[in-house]
Amino acid sequence: MPLKWVLYAFCFSFILNSNAQIIEKIEPYHIRTVQFRGNTQLSQLPIIRLGESLQLSFDDINGDEEDYYYKITHHNFDWTESDLSKGEYLDGFDDVRIETYDNSLNSLQLYSHYYLNIPNRETRRLKKSGNYLISVYNYDGDLVFTRKFMILENQVGVGVDIKRSRDIKYIDTKQVVQFTINSKDELLINPKQSVKTLVIQNGNIKQAITNLKPQYTIGSELIYRYDQEAAFWAGNEFNFFDSKEARSANNGIRRIELTDLFEHYLYTRISRADRPYTYNPDINGNFVVRAFRAENTNIEAEYIRMHFALQYYEDIGDKEIHIYGNFNNWCIDESTYMRYDEAADVFRNTRLFKQGFYNYRFVLVDRDGTIDQGAIGGNFWQTENDYSVLVYYRGPGERFDRIIGYGQGNSSVISNN
């Protein structure tokens, strides 16, 4: 079976937990630009505090004003569904219709833009911390897509430091996340068993580190000073394109055509793995929808076919090259596949994007789904990355994993010791 179909089936299949509950489903082709955020302007993994709000929006390019419904479920650290009943973690109701939507205005691509705010009239409050999943269904009850989010309570402090690897083999290519949990106001009983941590790079939960135990305790502090076990490949600064102006080229866009939609052709990229590191500000894989001269970007932004081209001469065997970023929730699927153009000796991809500023990178994907983010772009210890540490705790007699602490760090402040 060709690798692209293996990956396609892998990405679009349901991921099941031990209780045979659906955990995650990627949106179909007609659902575009899913934006899910908490208290940030960027569309990224929402990590919010109890009482804060969430915003979910998406476009349906069928443009037929389909009815969509949402459900919210509470999950443990390992994403098995928790033992809590709906009423224990949710004040109000879910399984209700998303009532707010608008149709596109003056755009070549017709679409309906749906948006949901939580809390709202029906879903008044989420009462517990922990992992959550929001699932969107159509009128027939078929699952359309899901998104994960986290709610935390501030019970412990989390200090995060970013270091270069102590292993000389990786000192120039990896970044290590070391952190301390200060539980001064929270008694953590048997922390090696009851405390779990999640370490995330650039909001990409699919590549998170989940298996760290506290190495030792000093007073009320749990110390995590791992090296290789807490190391991430540093990667390189993300490539980007800005399609806010649909009718004229800008930095990175070589030329524009108008067919049934606007077509933007990006400049051909080359491998950066063997080139010197160059600082280039990015938004760490995220995206922002924006359109020049639009009063309401949500419904006036165009959908544009972006044409990617990569010149890469290394032998990739039976692996594949894909574009990768948060624009589709860090998913590898058929729409991200770079096909080889033998006549031009380049890899090409054409994908539909709503106008905006997008980060992406080219990655090498193996048959088992393993993603090598540095094979084409390179890994450099200087790369600026965001890191987050979530602390989970289940005390004696408790029936679910609470999130009791949250810390952040950035590799722009990195040390060698």
Co-location of 289 and 190 in the same domain: no
Same structural domain, 54 and 107: yes
Query: What is the model's pLDDT at position 417?
Result: 65
Domain identity same for 261 and 209: no
Asked whether residue 116 carries a pLDDT value surpassing 60, the answer given is yes
Nearest by Cα to 75 from 394, 407, 406? 394
3-state SS class at 3? helix
Same domain, 72 and 205: no
Say if CB 60 and CB 30 are below 8 A apart: yes
Predicted pLDDT at 24? 82
Mean pLDDT over all residues of the chain?
92
Q: 341 and 283, same structural domain?
A: yes
How much is the average pLDDT of 17-26?
60
Does residue 369 sit in the same domain as residue 391?
Answer: no
Verify that 100 and 145 share a domain, yes or no: yes
Question: In the listed set 110, 134, 152, which residue is the last one of a domain according to the structure?
Answer: 152
Could you identify the residue written with the tokens 């008694």? Answer: 187
Token pair listed for 64: 């037929």
CATH code assigned at 114 = 2.60.40.1930
CA torsion through residues 369, 233, 27, 240, sign: negative
Which of 184-188, 266-270, 279-283, 350-354 has the least mean pLDDT?
A: 184-188
Q: Kindly tell me if the per-residue pLDDT of 241 is higher than 90.
A: yes
Query: By residue range, what is the domain housing residue 163?
Result: 157-234+382-415
The band of 251, judged by pLDDT with boundaries at 50, 70 and 90, is confident
SS3 (DSSP) at 334: helix
Position 412 pLDDT exceeds 80: yes
Same domain, 35 and 142: yes
Place 11 in a pLDDT band, splitting at 50, 70 and 90.
low
Tell whether the model's pLDDT for residue 281 goes beyond 80: yes
Q: Is 133 in the same domain as 243?
A: no
Among residues 95, 129, 152, the one where a domain terminates is 152
Whether residues 146 and 276 fall in one domain: no
CA 75 to chain centre: 18
Based on DSSP, count helices (H) and strands (E) in the chain, helices before strands. Answer: 5, 34
Domain count, the chain: 3
pLDDT surpasses 90 at 8: no
pLDDT value of residue 15? 46
DSSP 192-229: HHHEEEEEEETTEEEEEE------EEETTEEEE--SGG
pLDDT value, residue 14: 44
Last residue of a domain, one of 152, 185, 211: 152
pLDDT value for 12: 45
Asked if 384 contacts 411 with a C-beta cutoff of 8 angstroms, the reply is yes
CB 67 within 8 A of CB 59: no
**162 shares a domain with 145:** no
Residue 2 predicted with pLDDT over 70: no
329, pLDDT greater than 80: yes
At residue 337, the pLDDT reads 98
Min mean pLDDT across 29-43, 128-142, 231-245, 338-352 is at: 29-43
**Same domain for 350 and 311:** yes
| Separation of alpha carbons 30 and 26, rounded Å | 12
| Alpha carbons 77 and 154: distance in angstroms, whole number | 17
Q: Which amino acid is at 409?
A: G
Q: Name the pTM for this structure.
A: 0.92
What are the φ/ψ torsions at residue 119 (nearest 5 degrees)? -75, 160
User: What residues have CB less than 8 Å from 173, skipping those under 6 apart?
Assistant: 165, 233, 234, 374, 379, 380, 381
Q: What's the pLDDT score for residue 249?
A: 87
Angle among Cα 108, 109, 114 to the nearest 5 degrees reads: 130
Residue 214 belongs to a domain with what CATH number?
A: 2.60.40
